[in-house]
A and B are shown apart, each in its own frame.
Chain A
Amino acid sequence: MSEEQWLPFWPPVASNTAVSVDRLFIGEFALSIVILGLVFGMIIAFSIRYRRGSAADRGNRVKKTWHWEIGWTVGSLAVFLCLFVWGANAYVWLFEPPRHPDLEIYVIGKQWMWKMEHPGGQREIDELHLPVDKTVRLLMTSEDVIHSFFVPAFRVKHDVLPGQYETMWFKPTETGRFRIQCAQFCGTQHAHMIGDVVVESEAEYAQWLTTQGVHASLAQQGEALFRADGCSGCHSANSTVHAPSLAGIYGRVVHLQSGEARIVDETYLRDCILLGGAHIDVAGYPPVMPSFAGKISEGDILELISYIQSLSSQPGGSP
């Protein structure tokens, strides 16, 4: 669709998710037209035929109403259930990120900008460069209020909450610039919390990555923080403090003091750094980890997590 059309009717279709959402929408739109035509048609037809003063026969009115009512109750229920199943199916697919995405991007929302971090350590503000035809998983959090990451051309949207991680995924199928918008009201400049997704060919994307002048990947930056913030003082093999080693811990199941078991994921690691307490602390270790709440930014936490993740992907590595 060109930009110059007189009245736009349809947003660009630029991802695999957009195709599937559009299909569903068109299906329901057609159904709505049918139902609307039926109701409006009947109202108009009855209004004309049975207007006051018309000579239409008004005898033999439908007296027994139950089979009519049961008819349209069951009818609408059946139609609705079909729509529900179709929708729920697509939603599970839409909201279940692939296990091994081609690319994982960290997104931090703050009043009123989007900060993106690429695995190689490249950072962008209000712009997100992506290669075409690759599945992308976003790990998103907010530094202040609730934002919502929305790319109309991809038909995907997810709220970005402070204090927790949310994920979403998509696979761009067209190159070009597409708008990012904040969908959850977040303050004065909410309308300007916008940006662009720049979808490029793989070669262009690789080229772009190299021109960013970054020498350390996110994980390497996280490792530097790990030492600077004193984490290594306890969590290293030769430490005198009895603290769990972090090598290979990401993705494993740990048993907690409270008796629960939890998968070590981004949310769990974040809680460990910020909240502390027995619903976090691993069984068998003294609860001595201090809370870093207020002392560390969301970006730093993501770097630390990236570092801890990297310890799992290189077996034998020990901090």
Chain B
Amino acid sequence: MSALAADLPTSYLTEENTIASWLLTRDHKRIALLFFASVTFFFFIGGIAATFVRLHLLNPAGVLLQPDMYNRMFTMHGVTMVWFFLIPSIPATFGNFFIPLMIGAHDLAFPRLNLASWYVFNLSGLFLLYTYFAGGVDTGWTFYAPYSTLYANGHVIGAAVAVFINGFSTIMTALNFVVTIHRMRAPGMTWMRLPLFVWAIYAVSLVMLLATPVLAMTLALVGLERFMGVGIFDPSLGGDPLLYQHMFWFYSHPAVYIMILPAMGVASELIPCFSRRPVFGYTGMTFAIIGIAVISFFVWAHHMFVAGISVFSAIVFSLMTFFVAVPSAIKVFNWTATLHKGRISFDAPMLYALGFVGLFTVGGLTGLMLATLPIDVHVHDTYFVIAHFHYIMVGGTVSAFFGGLHYWWPKITGRLYPEMWARVTAVLTFLGFNLTFFPQFILGYLGMMRRYYAYPAKFQDWNVLSSAGASILAIAYALPLFYLGWSLLWGQRASANPWRATGLEWLTSSPPPKENFARTPTVKVPPYRYDPEDDSFISQDGVAHA
């Protein structure tokens, strides 16, 4: 299997190892690692903010932080996690690293743009950090006008500029993926032979391209309005605050799918591989991915059911929201069916993937409740919503992120991670997560509001449980830093294909050479040709492995 890489002794990691060679690299693999470093940094920044929020909520009177500081903390948590971790997390790291490898290309179409994207991302990150150090923002990540434009007492402009610039990075990366997947596929890599991860990244890139500019314009208007004192959303000029919400959610609802679609792609790689059987209903899965991406644009006003939109439009958007649940349901059932008659092994990536399916299902079902209008009227802006989207974002996306990280770790670094530690961590993540967020469903229905620094004393017990879970979760998220770091130095060397997987990325050596493949591979068969009966598989270049 290493035939394609036999005459390439050096890897992308060892090729040339000066600081300049990393900072000026055009190699998508190195840029992926640069992104990995950046998003990990922001993950912990957002995590620290979350820790403060949970610690503060241990006490119903809210004594740890001053109200203004608490408001800044949850805003910091939201802004950082949404734009600086979740959205770039899987696409900019695993997407960057594996899209060219999976389609048999030597690099992305525009390597310089790719590098520029990382620099722009960090520039926006600097603006964000500046905003935090200069006093923070207290608007919540949604920047609702007219609060953000006329009344907020934080650095709204700084945060808006950060997110605006961040959008450029998103667009650059997404544009690169779309063009690469269209133009750079290896011979024989037809659309229906693409791994589902590539499909997911393609769909998510389209969503990014079409949604991000609207956010950019919206935040530009908010920034200008705040800067100039007059503007488009100012009610005293006859401006409509709901217009802001329409434009914001036109981006931000698809953004939810920007976060979850790549995770679905990762799960679709992991589950067949560790079940040793082809993914159930490949075609249906591709349709579901595209369906989710398209319908995700038609549902945005379900964030506005109590905001004052017309009853008729609320009904239309509710219906659309039920429609978007259909392809999601298809995916859940297909993943489950993939397990049927498989030969399932429970390595850490599979544990994360199964956790992903379970938690995503809980998130999806509570999403149905939120799509039902009267229930949304009651639980809107309560912890029920918080719990719901954390089940999707954290239970779903972050689990898949860690699953993918473990799955591809040998390919990225050339080292195996310690399996036992990883399994314990995966289980710990699942337990800690549920303990953190399940109580929030109950709190939400009881009427505990989000963004409250103080709450009625009778809700305290649930909040204590939630905070206890959060500390377990914090440990589970910090552990990989140590054992993965350990494996970098002392981990066992990985073979080219330690998981016996079918994708093209496993044909080349671990870690891959700078050019990815010595010669461009030719694709002969669809992905996921696993056979559970005798454990054999056929990799995508058509070679059968016993």
CB atoms of A and B under 8 A apart anywhere in the complex? yes
For A148-183 the 0/1 string (1 means CB < 8 A from B) is: 101011011111011110100000000000010111
A21, CB-defined interface residue at 8 Å: yes
From residue B186, how far is it (CB to closest CB) to chain A in Å?
Answer: 27
B458 near A8: Cβ-Cβ < 8 Å: yes
**A190 in contact (CB, < 8 A):** yes
Of the listed stretches A58-66, A129-137, A214-222, name the one at the interface; the rest are far from the partner chain.
A58-66
In the complex, B123 has a CB within 8 A of chain A: no
B461 at the binding interface (Cβ < 8 Å): yes
Contacts of A153 in B (CB 8 A): 447
B68 adjacent to chain A (CB < 8 Å)? yes
> For chain B residues 127-154, which have a beta carbon within 8 Å of chain A?
138-140, 144, 146-147, 150-153
With a cutoff of 8 Å between Cβ atoms, the chain B residues found around residue A87 in the complex are: 318, 371-375
B124 CB to closest chain A CB, in angstroms? Answer: 24
**CB neighbours of A188 from chain B (8 A):** 67-68, 71, 138, 153
Binds A, one of B109-117, B173-181, B356-364: B356-364
Smallest distance from the beta carbon of A159 to chain B beta carbons, Å? 5
Chain B min CB distance to A5 (Å)? 8
- In the complex, what's the smallest C-beta–C-beta distance from B39 to chain A, in angstroms? 27
* Beta-carbon nearest neighbor of B314 in chain A: A91
A203 at the interface (CB under 8 A from B): no
The answer to the question of A278 belonging to the interface, with a C-beta cut-off of 8 Å to chain B, is no
Interface residues of B in 321-376 (CB under 8 A from A): 322-323, 325-326, 329-330, 332-334, 336-337, 339-346, 354, 357-358, 361-362, 365-366, 368-369, 371-375
Among A42, A51, A111, which residue has its beta carbon within 8 angstroms of that of B151?
A: A111
Cβ of B319 under 8 Å from chain A: yes
Segment of A70-78, A252-260, A307-315 engaged in the interface with chain B: A70-78
Instruction: Name the residue on B nearest A279 (C-beta).
Output: B238
Interface positions, chain A 27-41, Cβ under 8 Å from B, are 28-29, 32, 35-36, 39-40
Interface membership of B533, Cβ < 8 A: yes
Within 8 A of A (CB), among B246-262: none
A46 engages B451 (CB within 8 Å): no
Indicate whether A275 reaches chain B with its CB closer than 8 angstroms.
yes
Min CB distance B275 to A, Å, is: 8
Q: Which residues of B contact A3 (CB under 8 A)?
A: 458
Partner-binding segment picked from B30-38, B277-285, B423-431, B488-496: B277-285
Q: Which of chain A's residues have a CB closer than 8 A to the CB of B358?
A: 39-40, 43
Tell me if A157 and B378 are in contact (CB < 8 A): yes
Q: A68-B281, A188-B138 are in contact. Are A91 and B374 (CB under 8 A)?
A: yes
B151 touches A144 (CB 8 A): yes
Residue of B nearest to A9 (CB): B442
Q: Do A159 and B306 have beta carbons less than 8 Å apart?
A: yes
Q: Which residues of B from 285 to 328 have beta carbons under 8 Å from A?
A: 305-308, 311, 314-315, 318-319, 322-323, 325-326
Question: Would you call A285 an interface residue if the criterion is a C-beta within 8 Å of the partner chain's C-beta atoms?
Answer: no
* In the assembled complex, A227 has its CB within 8 A of some CB on chain B: no
Neighbouring B residues of A24 by C-beta, 8 Å:
372, 374-375
Chain A contributes a number of interface residues (CB within 8 A of B) equal to: 87
Q: How far is B384's CA from A11's CA once the two chains are assembled, in angstroms?
A: 13
Residue in A61, A77, A157 whose beta carbon sits within 8 Å of that of B277 in the complex: A61
Are B445 and A46 in contact (CB-based, < 8 A)? no
Please measure, in the bound complex, the distance between the C-alpha atom of A189 and the C-alpha atom of B337, giving whole angstroms.
Answer: 50
**Is B241 within 8 A of A162, CB to CB?**
yes
Say whether A47 contacts B344, CB under 8 Å.
Answer: yes
**Interface 0/1 of B143-187, CB less than 8 Å to A:** 010110011110000000000000000000000000000000000
Q: Nearest chain A CB to B417's CB is how many angstroms away?
A: 19
CB of B452 closer than 8 Å to a CB of A: yes
Please give me the residue from chain A that is nearest to B451 by CB atom.
A185
Q: Please name all residues of chain B whose beta carbon is closer than 8 Å to the beta carbon of A296 when the two chains form the complex.
A: none
Given known A-B contacts A46-B342, A61-B341, A158-B308, A187 and B151 have beta carbons under 8 A apart = yes
Closest A residue to B533 by beta carbon equals: A58
Residue count of chain B within 8 Å CB distance of chain A: 92
Contact: A36 with B447, CB < 8 Å? no
CB-based contact B235/A161 at 8 Å: yes
- CB neighbours (8 Å) of B276 from chain A are 52
Contacts of A228 in B (CB 8 A): none
Which of A25, A50, A96, A166: most chain B Cβ within 10 A? A50
Instruction: Note all chain B residues with C-beta closer than 8 A to A56.
Output: 341
CA distance A84 to B445 in the complex (A): 20
Q: Are A73 and B339 in contact (CB under 8 A)?
A: no
User: Is B4 among interface residues, defined by CB-CB distance under 8 A?
Assistant: no
Q: In the complex where A81-B322, A87-B318, A183-B381 touch, is A190 in contact with B311 (Cβ < 8 A)?
A: no
- Does B459 make an interface contact (CB < 8 A)? yes
- Specify which of A32, A51, A81, A275 is in contact with B344 (CB 8 Å cutoff): A51
For A157, list chain B residues within 8 Å (CB): 306, 377-378, 380-381
Chain A residues with Cβ below 8 Å from B336 are 39, 42-43, 46
A181-B447, A183-B381 are contacts. A190–B71 as well, Cβ < 8 Å? yes
Interface string of A91-122 (1 = CB under 8 A from B): 11011100000000000000100000000000
Cβ–Cβ < 8 Å partners of B138 in chain A: 187-188
Contact for A95 among B240, B311, B446, CB less than 8 A: B311
Asked whether B71 lies within 8 Å of A183 as measured between CB atoms, the reply is no
Are B381 and A184 in contact (CB-based, < 8 A)?
yes
Residues of A within 8 A of B71 (CB): 185, 187-188, 190
For window 243-264 of A, CB contacts with B under 8 Å fall at none
Q: Is the CB of B374 within 8 A of A21?
A: yes
Contact B449 A183 (CB under 8 A): yes
Q: Complex formed: what's the CA distance from A304 to B442 in Å?
A: 44
Given contacts A28-B368, A28-B369, A51-B344, contact A69 B330 (CB under 8 A): yes
A288 at the interface (CB under 8 A from B): no
Question: Within 8 Å of chain A (Cβ to Cβ): is B454?
Answer: yes
**Chain B nearest Cβ from A103, distance in angstroms:** 21
The interface centre, meaning the residue of B241, B345, B346 with most chain A CB atoms within 10 A of its CB, is: B241
A28-B372, A32-B366, A191-B455 known; A88 and B144 CB under 8 Å?
no
4 tightest A-B CB contacts, nearest first:
A152-B447, A163-B235, A91-B373, A87-B372
Residues of B at the A interface (CB closer than 8 Å) are 62, 67-68, 71, 138-140, 144, 146-147, 150-153, 235-236, 238-242, 275-277, 280-281, 284, 305-308, 311, 314-315, 318-319, 322-323, 325-326, 329-330, 332-334, 336-337, 339-346, 354, 357-358, 361-362, 365-366, 368-369, 371-375, 377-378, 380-382, 442, 445-447, 449-456, 458-459, 461-462, 532-533
Given contacts A157-B377, A185-B147, 8 further A-B contacts (CB under 8 A): A8-B446, A46-B340, A65-B281, A65-B337, A83-B371, A157-B306, A162-B146, A188-B71
19 pairs, CB–CB < 8 Å, chain A vs chain B = A8-B446, A42-B336, A46-B336, A50-B340, A50-B343, A52-B276, A58-B532, A62-B340, A68-B337, A80-B323, A144-B151, A157-B380, A161-B241, A162-B241, A181-B447, A184-B381, A188-B153, A189-B67, A275-B238
